[in-house]
Amino acid sequence: MGDYISMKGKLRTVAASDTGRVREHNEDAVAIDSDVGLVVLADGMGGYNAGEVASGIAAKTIVNIVREAFDHQELGGTDPATGLSRAGIILRDAILRANKIIYQTSKSQAQCEGMGTTIVAALFHDNKVSVAHVGDSRLYRLRGDRFEQITMDHSLLQELVDRGFYSPEEAQRATNKNYVTRALGVDPSVQVEVRELPAYKGDYYVLCSDGLTDMVEDEDIHLTISTFSANLDTVAKQLIQLANDNGGRDNISVMVANVVESFPARHSLLDRLLGWFG
């Protein structure tokens, strides 16, 4: 099993969140743990500002659980049953735990009834990134000149695109974008989608709430990162500015992680020997 190493100095990260032009409260939550290489974004929903309770619980729970696993060196290696890395399993289980806590809180606190949140999280480890999400908060990757959406929304609109009722271009113009088919805290259990991908030096990963993607086209997100890539703070500020200039109808959250050094796990001598004979 490989040792999980600190990600300090391997990633540049930034997080920014804005209420937007229409909403009174910001119900998004963002969190970064630079040591662990974890970035988390949640977009809350629910009356009486309960959305910010749900997103806050999600971000805090996920960071705490992943951090604890990191401190106990439990993130290395692969899970034979699923083929996912140990880190990916722990990230998924942390999201499932957050779901339970939000669901129980919504049932026990009258003012939190019906609350929920989307989630998108990225955990960097051993030259890979584990991406987990529920709902329509997204993760994009810019590698060289290629900008692509890595997560697919858990939304009614995306299902209609998948089934051929809409083209992706028509979906961009559709008005019923915000019906999510999965969220944390709505049911006692939830299906978390996890993907694991190689992460390379020079990659940019963008996490965002639909407050950005409903207001700003993918090409403009791409152009903004390419133009201001030397300063991630400027990237985040510019993207929020664009969303607000286009109407700012929802809370807007943006996180960017840029891989500045490769980060292979430190493998033990036994691992290396087994590798030679594998």
- Write the CATH number for 19: 3.60.40.10
Q: Which two tokens stand for residue 172?
A: 């961009």
Task: Quote the pLDDT of residue 46.
Answer: 87
Domain assignment present for 211? yes
Report how far residue 246's alpha carbon sits from residue 73's, in angstroms, rounded to the nearest whole number: 45
**Residue ranges for the chain with pLDDT beneath 50:** 1-2, 278
Domain assignment present for 216? yes
Structural domain for 73, as ranges: 11-277
Q: Any residues with CB less than 8 A from the CB of 71 and at least 6 apart, and which? A: none
Give the residue ranges of DSSP H helices in the chain: 50-71, 86-108, 156-162, 168-173, 210-213, 218-228, 232-245, 269-277
Task: Quote the pLDDT of residue 257.
Answer: 98
pTM of the model: 0.93
The CA distances from residue 223 to 62, 179, 228, 229, in Å, are: 31, 28, 9, 10
Domain assignment present for 4? no
* Type of residue found at 172: Q
Task: Quote the pLDDT of residue 186.
Answer: 95
The CA distances from residue 8 to 12, 194, 263, in Å, are: 9, 24, 10
118, HSE (Cβ side, Cα atoms, 13 Å): 26
pLDDT in tens, 148-188: 999 999 998 888 889 998 888 887 777 666 689 999 999 99
Q: At what angle do helices 86-108 and 50-71 cross, to 10 degrees?
A: 150
Tally of structural domains, the chain: 1
Q: Which two tokens stand for residue 102?
A: 């939000």
The total of other beta-carbon atoms located within 10 Å of residue 45's CB is 21
The total of other beta-carbon atoms located within 10 Å of residue 132's CB is 25
Q: Which two tokens stand for residue 182?
A: 């999965």
Domain assignment present for 1? no
